[in-house]
A = this chain, B = another copy of it.
């Protein structure tokens, strides 16, 4: 049963625990590849080209954009960010599933271009739990925390446009649930149209 890989879009507010979940998913699921975004901003200390981001010039970015080589793109603080289409398509044609972590506007762009992707929104157990997690980081002052919470509210309101929601009560639960979603999506009939035809032909 030959299957093309599937595209999984993961979003959620800052502090919902997306990075931990993603790390665990990639450790457990050897058929899963992580899409790396491209950006025109300069690498920060410790960041590696091709791992954290593909660091490219503004000219390269706009050329890729013009050639339709970005699945989505956004500008933030005068820097461009985008999702290169080619590595995703290559992996998927080899049967790998590809996951990408993205904020809600980017997720919405991708859903429009790839309606067959499975979009998953990670929710905190509650807004107060999210606040607690942001405080526990101990890295941000009160003003930043309040701003992040306001943004989180707006993002959570966008969760209605996703296919699935997963509450990150424990990382283990959330990861299991996402694995079940990936498994279920593989069994969608529309992803296996040729299977039924082949079964009826190769009696």
Q: How would you classify the secondary structure of chain A's contact residues: helix, strand, loop or mixed?
A: helix
Q: Does A189 contact B (CB under 8 A)?
A: yes
Contacts of A128 in B (CB 8 A): 203
Chain A residues 35-49 with CB under 8 Å of chain B are none
Contacts of A160 in B (CB 8 A): 189, 193, 196
Q: Does A21 contact B (CB under 8 A)?
A: no
Chain A residues 149-187 with CB under 8 Å of chain B are 153, 156-157, 159-167, 177, 179-181, 183-185, 187
Q: Does A77 contact B (CB under 8 A)?
A: no
On whether the beta carbons of B167 and A1 are closer than 8 Å, the reply is: yes
Closest chain-B Cβ to A26's Cβ sits at a distance in Å of: 19
**By the criterion of a CB under 8 Å from any partner CB, how many residues of chain A are at the interface?**
37
Contacts of A163 in B (CB 8 A): 188-189
Q: Complex Cα distance A28/B163, Å?
A: 27
On whether the beta carbons of A203 and B127 are closer than 8 Å, the reply is: yes
A-B pairs with beta carbons under 8 Å apart, 14 shown: A120-B187, A126-B199, A128-B203, A153-B200, A159-B189, A162-B189, A163-B189, A164-B184, A164-B187, A164-B189, A165-B189, A165-B196, A177-B187, A180-B184
A199 with B164: in contact, given A183-B184, A184-B181 (CB under 8 Å)? no
Contacts of A164 in B (CB 8 A): 184, 187-189
Q: Complex Cα distance A121/B188, Å?
A: 10
